[in-house]
Amino acid sequence: MDVMSLKLTPEEAASVIKDGMTIAMSGWAMAGYPKAIPEELVKRKQAGENLSIKLITGANVPWLDEKLGNEGIVKRRVPMVAGRALSSQANNGSLNYVEQQMCKMPRLLKSGSFGSIDVAVVEALGFDKEGNLIPSSSIGMTHYLMDAAKEIIVEINSAQPLILKELHDLHIPAPAPETRPIPLLRTGQRIGQGAIPVDSSKISGIVETSIPERMTAQAKGTELTNKIAGCLFEFLEKEYEADLPPIQTGFGGLADSIAHAFQHSKFENLEFFCGGVTEPVLELLASGKAAAVSTGGIGISDRVIEILENTPDLSDKLVIRNGDITNGAEIIGRLGLIALNTGIEIDIYGNVNSSHIAGSRVVNGIGGGAGFAQNAGLSILLIPSVARGGAISGIVPMVSHQDISEHDIDVVVTENGIADLRGLDDLERAEAIIGNCASETYREQLSAYLNKSKELCGGHHPQLPVDAFEWYRRLKDEGSMLEKKV
């Protein structure tokens, strides 16, 4: 069957999507998402149609969440939310948000945990000679979404850089109990194929588009994030004499500061093994500082396109993989990654809240951070010691919501210093975090809490929950976690 005979306008293709359907869309790490069909759904909603959907993607896709969320089209969301629209709806109860770890998504999709998928809408560069789908700037979970869907709509986007065709590497592990070891031993190694097998009988429409993909603006490094990055590199330069293990990092101002610090560090032949990468990491590839980058998706910008088109032997250095591999525990452990994660708050023992403000209001979701932290060779948590001008301490007695366990954090870094927690018991960990990482504003208050806990309840891991959550009561009622001096 010649699938290109199924060309439709965006309006025609989108007509198969009806109110109440479960719709899957490609997209991973802000890349490779459909653009024309979501616009058609918005037009229909704005014209007064009663239209709501359950939306499943592989990971966070801010453009989709904002585009559809602003119109109230999404009523159930899996596995992350991005941007104000959907996070606000998740917090006010108008959106059913099913938060999931990235490392578990392949299994959950294969097992049908989210119910049947009516339509999968995916972006592609086209099809190869065998009829396999060539993805665009991400792979993520696209193969599982298409397998699970009753119908498939393909957006072929000619605005995506064609050089992306050279970068894909799809390896789908066999299902249990036939699963075999994944044969990946190096960051830049290729172990799979460059396109995704697709059941052409499911394709109900091909939409040709030429819509540039431009990722939402990412925060740049600040004086604060530069200080945190400086403390990180103080630790790395003492810990490693020469080459580093592969590095996992994320997005935002802190990631930007870290990438710039790497550019001017003593380390060469850097390797990055990340869920997604953006301009700062690719600048390291362009400069020759990085030797290999493995990712689930590439955030496209004008500068990124320039790097992709002008880096010699790009396919030997840059690989786009599916989520089974980018977030797979087996590979994270085998490569011995240095995982660089951030959070909203960390407690004195090392437990991390990375998703919910004051334990209740979701920001994005757990994402892939916990999986990387649990399986990495070295797990580092980077966090500012205070927020909101000092009204909030980034280090608290007890986290209000836990995403990453204390057992999965090896090192804590703030702008004030480094707490190396390896080999320490719980009380030693608390003393190291308070003494080395806490803000001077809160250090005495944290120490007083720890001493009171030891005196009144003792134990291996002393905690006073009433006193611990008094910090959040003060923040809510008085505007600051800081105790007022009597």
Asked if residue 60 lies in contact with residue 252, where contact means CB atoms within 8 angstroms, the answer is: no
Q: Could you list the beta-strand ranges (E) of 6-79.
A: 22-25, 53-56, 74-78
Asked if residue 405 lies in contact with residue 356, where contact means CB atoms within 8 angstroms, the answer is: no
What is the arithmetic mean of pLDDT over 166-171? 98
30 band by pLDDT with thresholds 50, 70 and 90? confident
Burial of 37 (0-12, 13-18, 19+ CB in 10 A): buried
**Other residues' Cβ atoms within 10 Å of the Cβ of residue 193:** 15
- Cα 322 from Cα 279, distance rounded (Å): 20
- Cα 114 from Cα 265, distance rounded (Å): 45
486 band by pLDDT with thresholds 50, 70 and 90? low
Least confident of 12-16, 210-214, 245-249, 316-320: 210-214
**What are residue 461's phi and psi, to 5 degrees?**
-140, 70
Mean pLDDT for the chain overall: 95
**What are residue 434's phi and psi, to 5 degrees?**
-65, -45
| 434 closest CA partner among 388, 389, 393 | 393
Domains along the chain with CATH numbers:
3-209 (3.40.1080.10), 223-478 (3.40.1080.10)
Q: For 398-443, what is each residue's pLDDT tens digit?
A: 999 999 999 999 999 999 999 999 999 999 999 999 999 999 999 9
- Cα 328 from Cα 305, distance rounded (Å): 28
What is the arithmetic mean of pLDDT over 20-43? 96
392 band by pLDDT with thresholds 50, 70 and 90? very high
**Is residue 64 helix, strand or coil?**
helix
Q: For 274-290, what is each residue's pLDDT tens digit?
A: 999 989 999 999 999 99
Q: In the prediction, which pLDDT does 484 show? A: 87
Please tell me which residue, 395 or 216, carries the higher pLDDT value: 395
1 band by pLDDT with thresholds 50, 70 and 90? low
Which structure tokens are listed for 117?
Answer: 């998928």
Report the amino acid identity of residue 183.
Answer: P
Which stretches of 208-349 are DSSP H helices? Answer: 223-239, 253-263, 279-287, 302-310, 323-326, 329-335
Q: For 431-478, what is each residue's pLDDT tens digit?
A: 999 999 999 999 999 999 999 999 999 999 999 999 999 999 999 999
